[in-house]
């Protein structure tokens, strides 16, 4: 995609008309041919060292060519992965207006900081840095006239005249555009920003697709390029991440996205990222981190919970040796140990991850979140409270979720144990509604869930109606039960807690909430029994919830989620047809319940695996 005119004419605000133009017409600089091309003139041009003359004034960029830019950015990435975040920024900033890779690197770190802090000023700084980066990348992209822009639909011959520098500019521009779109979504809930963000994502996706076509042509024509491996790494990162993430979406959303030009292939995405991770480009660690995020996080929260730990370990190992004290590498090392069932070792590594750097406290918050859940798994409620309290005080990511979790964890303690904390559980639950926020105009599903559950403590009620096992319910929502399945001792202790709550409920007077509470306990009990390889008892628990469907008054999410658990129980017993039928029933027969989108993600992941088995 190329804008009309030279880089100096690029408007900083990129108004809606420009975004619409980007989406409607893909000029030759981005919508490069996917058909057959003659690469001879491009090859000759590269071999002779001839480059196009630029109309853009670059008084200082003569000293920062593509080679130097790549080398310095590789150094900056190493600094970043070694926790030297400020040093990385200081290395990149002086050339961020003149070098596309310096611009990309600098703005990426600023954007990452904005996303992690969620401070409005940091978000504005990120948007500003990304606008500057887009302008810098634009200087190096091939320029097209208005006639060329519209004639690209008929003739796409400009590929032969592209320099290596211009090709790298496309990749850098696509990466910047994608990151700016992400910040646009979190900036505010303005619908115009939402539309602009969506268009930027589409444009970025189209550029990556066309860069993949260029990559194939270079390989086919055996064109020699000095920095081909870096271009190759950029394409693999972009194509891999797009395909992987799009493949996770529920089927109905995928059908809509395919209509407007998107497609997602999980196997292709993982293949591209694996090749990128094993390459020698500076994007190799980023490809590795993307796969690690998929295996250790996304597969748990939005997937089935079945994780490829062997691949995660083998991918992480060389980078862990290269960056032994790098916060990101230590974090994923701890996640892998946790998913292997080595809970105590994971705790130790998360603490080390906190201790190795103080520059970016946001990395500490990620570790606080993990340590909080580990202590929930262990039912060490005071320790879990300690980390939930730290998150409430220090992190701005989701105050409503943090406060709800703090109240939920304290609810698991006897009243006398809560007194030393000087916390009031009812007051905490009543705060949740006022703390909820919106991203891209939408409420965050986990916050909506927390707000709904907190209504039982509303001052409008005659008296608060105590939640039953709220910390374990949130553990279920975050798919924590597959994490503890490798630890029989933890699963047994959780089952004892659930059975104790079950006995308490049976001795209480019947109320409007009784059936809902009973069904929640049965779902949690069934998950514990499933982890302990007691399928018949687990199925009885799940069946009880499904049979109580018409009696539920508030927690309607329980039935479709229980069907999902029942499907996995059938799958474990080899009854694949019954499993798929249960998933399809959960997907097709229920709507407008809490956490619906998250369940649809998980159903999509399960159907993808069960209907089309793969090596992944």
Using the predicted structure, report yes or no on whether residue 146 has a pLDDT greater than 50: no
Q: Which residue has the higher pLDDT, 410 or 192?
A: 410
- Residue 201: per-residue pLDDT: 83
505-521 mean pLDDT:
95
**Close Cβ partners of 609 (under 8 Å, ≥ 6 residues apart):** 304, 306
Whole-angstrom distance, CA of residue 217 vs CA of residue 32: 11
- Supply the pLDDT for residue 222: 76
Read off the pTM.
0.84
Band (203; pLDDT cuts 50, 70, 90) = confident
Whole-number pLDDT of residue 92: 95
The average pLDDT across 237-260 equals: 81
For residues 111 and 126, the answer to whether their CB atoms sit within 8 Å is yes
- Average pLDDT of the residues in 254-268: 77
The three-class DSSP label of residue 367 is: helix
Helix (H) or strand (E) segment spanning residue 384: helix 381-394
Mean pLDDT of the 577-597 span: 95
Contact yes or no for 576/610 (Cβ under 8 A): yes
Q: Is 523 in contact with 541 (CB distance < 8 Å)?
A: yes
Q: Which percentage of the chain shows pLDDT scores above 90?
A: 62
Average pLDDT over every residue of 186-195: 57
Average pLDDT value for residue range 510-528 = 97
How big is the chain by its Cα radius of gyration, in Å? 26
pLDDT > 90? residue 169: yes
- Kind and range of the H or E element at 110? helix 100-117
Q: Which of 124-133, 207-216, 540-549 has the highest mean pLDDT?
A: 540-549
Please report the pLDDT score of residue 193 as a whole number.
61
DSSP 281: S
pLDDT of residue 30 exceeding 70, the answer is no
* Count of beta carbons in the 10 Å neighbourhood of residue 34: 14
**Is the pLDDT score of 563 beyond 60?**
yes
Residue 443: DSSP 8-state: E
More reliable by pLDDT, 41 or 165: 165
Q: Which residue has the higher pLDDT, 187 or 116?
A: 116
Q: What percent of the chain has pLDDT over 70?
A: 83
| For residue 156, pLDDT beyond 50 | no
pLDDT in tens, 313-345: 999 999 999 999 999 999 999 999 999 999 999
pLDDT in tens, 108-120: 999 888 877 777 7
- Separation CA 386–CA 406 (nearest Å): 9
Please provide the average confidence, as pLDDT, over all residues in the chain: 84
Residue 382, pLDDT above cutoff 50: yes
| Average pLDDT for 187-192 | 54
pLDDT of residue 612: 59
Mean pLDDT calculated for residue range 128-151: 76
The phi-psi region of residue 104 (left if phi > 0; otherwise alpha if psi is between -120 and 50; otherwise beta) is alpha
Token pair, residue 183, equals: 């910040």
pLDDT higher than threshold 70 for residue 147: no
301/306 Cα distance (integer angstroms):
11
Of 392, 514, 387, 401, the residue nearest 450 (C-alpha): 401
End-to-end CA distance of the chain: 34
Supply the pLDDT for residue 283.
Answer: 92
What pLDDT is attached to residue 412?
Answer: 97
Write b or e for each residue in 111-122: b if 16 or more Cβ atoms lie within 10 A of its Cβ, otherwise e.
Answer: bbbbbbbbeeeb
Confidence check: pLDDT of 218 > 90:
no
- Which of the residue ranges 10-24, 78-92, 416-430, 451-465 would you say has the lowest mean pLDDT? 10-24
pLDDT reading at 372 higher than 50: yes
pLDDT at 178 over 90: no
HSE on the CB side for 575, CA within 13 Å? 12
pLDDT of residue 454: 97
Give the Cα separation of 526 and 569 in Å (integer).
10
User: 595 or 186, which is more confident?
Assistant: 595
In terms of C-beta distances under 8 Å and separation of at least 24 residues, what long-range contacts does 86-92 make, across chains too? 86/359
Higher pLDDT, 48 or 511: 511
Q: Flag the least confident range among 157-161, 430-434, 517-521, 568-572.
A: 157-161
Determine the Cα–Cα distance for residues 228 and 251; give it in Å rounded to an integer. Answer: 36
| Residue 284: burial class (beta carbons within 10 Å; 0-12, 13-18, 19+) | buried
pLDDT at 188: 53
For residues 518 and 536, what is the distance between their CA atoms, to the nearest angstrom? 19
């Amino acid at each position: 995609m190329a804008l009309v005119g030279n880089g100096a004419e690029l408007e900083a605000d990129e108004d809606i008309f420009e975004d619409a133009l980007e989406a409607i017409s893909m000029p030759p600089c981005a919508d490069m041919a996917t058909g057959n091309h003659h690469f001879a003139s491009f090859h000759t041009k590269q071999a002779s060292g001839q480059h196009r003359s630029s109309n853009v004034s670059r008084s200082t960029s003569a000293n920062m060519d593509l080679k130097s830019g790549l080398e310095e950015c590789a150094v900056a990435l190493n600094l970043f992965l070694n926790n030297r975040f400020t040093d990385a920024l200081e290395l990149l900033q002086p050339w961020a207006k003149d070098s596309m890779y310096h611009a990309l690197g600098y703005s990426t770190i600023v954007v990452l900081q904005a996303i992690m802090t969620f401070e409005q000023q940091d978000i504005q700084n990120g948007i500003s840095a990304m606008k500057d980066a887009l302008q810098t990348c634009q200087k190096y992209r091939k320029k097209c006239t208005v006639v060329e822009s519209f004639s690209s639909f008929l003739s796409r011959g400009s590929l032969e005249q592209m320099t290596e520098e211009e090709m790298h500019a496309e990749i850098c521009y696509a990466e910047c555009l994608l990151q700016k779109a992400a910040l646009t979504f979190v900036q505010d809930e303005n619908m115009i920003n939402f539309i602009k963000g969506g268009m930027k994502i589409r444009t970025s996706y189209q550029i990556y697709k066309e860069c993949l076509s260029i990559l194939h042509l270079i390989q086919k024509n055996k064109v020699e390029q000095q920095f081909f491996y870096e271009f190759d790494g950029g394409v693999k990162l972009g194509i891999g991440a797009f395909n992987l993430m799009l493949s996770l979406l529920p089927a109905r959303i995928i059908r809509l996205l395919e209509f407007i030009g998107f497609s997602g292939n999980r196997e292709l995405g993982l293949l591209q990222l694996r090749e990128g991770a094993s390459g020698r480009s500076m994007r190799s660690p980023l490809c590795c981190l993307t796969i690690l995020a998929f295996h250790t996080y996304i597969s748990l929260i939005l997937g089935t919970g079945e994780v490829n730990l062997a691949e995660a370990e083998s991918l992480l190992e060389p980078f862990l040796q290269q960056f032994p004290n790098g916060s990101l590498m230590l974090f994923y090392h701890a996640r892998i140990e946790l998913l292997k069932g080595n809970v105590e070792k994971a705790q130790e590594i998360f603490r080390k991850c906190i201790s190795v750097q103080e520059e970016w406290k946001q990395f500490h918050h990620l570790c606080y979140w993990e340590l909080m859940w580990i202590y929930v798994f262990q039912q060490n409620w005071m320790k879990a409270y300690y980390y939930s309290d730290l998150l409430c005080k220090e992190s701005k990511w989701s105050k409503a979720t943090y406060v709800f979790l703090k109240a939920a964890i304290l609810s698991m303690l006897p009243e006398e144990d809560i007194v030393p904390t000087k916390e009031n559980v009812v007051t905490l639950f009543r705060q949740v509604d006022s703390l909820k926020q919106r991203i891209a105009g939408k409420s965050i599903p986990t916050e909506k869930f927390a707000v709904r559950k907190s209504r039982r403590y509303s001052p409008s009620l005659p008296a608060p109606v105590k939640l039953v096992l709220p910390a374990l319910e949130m553990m279920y929502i975050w798919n924590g039960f597959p994490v503890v399945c490798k630890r029989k001792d933890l699963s047994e202790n959780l089952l004892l807690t659930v059975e104790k709550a079950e006995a308490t409920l049976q001795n209480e007077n019947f109320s409007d909430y009784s059936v809902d509470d009973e069904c929640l306990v049965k779902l949690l009990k069934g998950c514990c029994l499933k982890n302990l390889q007691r399928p018949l008892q687990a199925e009885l628990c799940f069946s009880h919830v499904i049979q109580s469907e018409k009696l539920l008054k508030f927690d309607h999410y329980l039935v479709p989620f229980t069907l999902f658990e029942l499907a996995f129980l059938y799958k474990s017993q080899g009854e694949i047809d019954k499993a798929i039928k249960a998933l399809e029933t959960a997907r097709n027969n229920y709507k407008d319940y809490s956490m619906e989108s998250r369940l649809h993600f998980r159903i999509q992941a399960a159907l993808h695996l069960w209907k089309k088995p793969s090596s992944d």
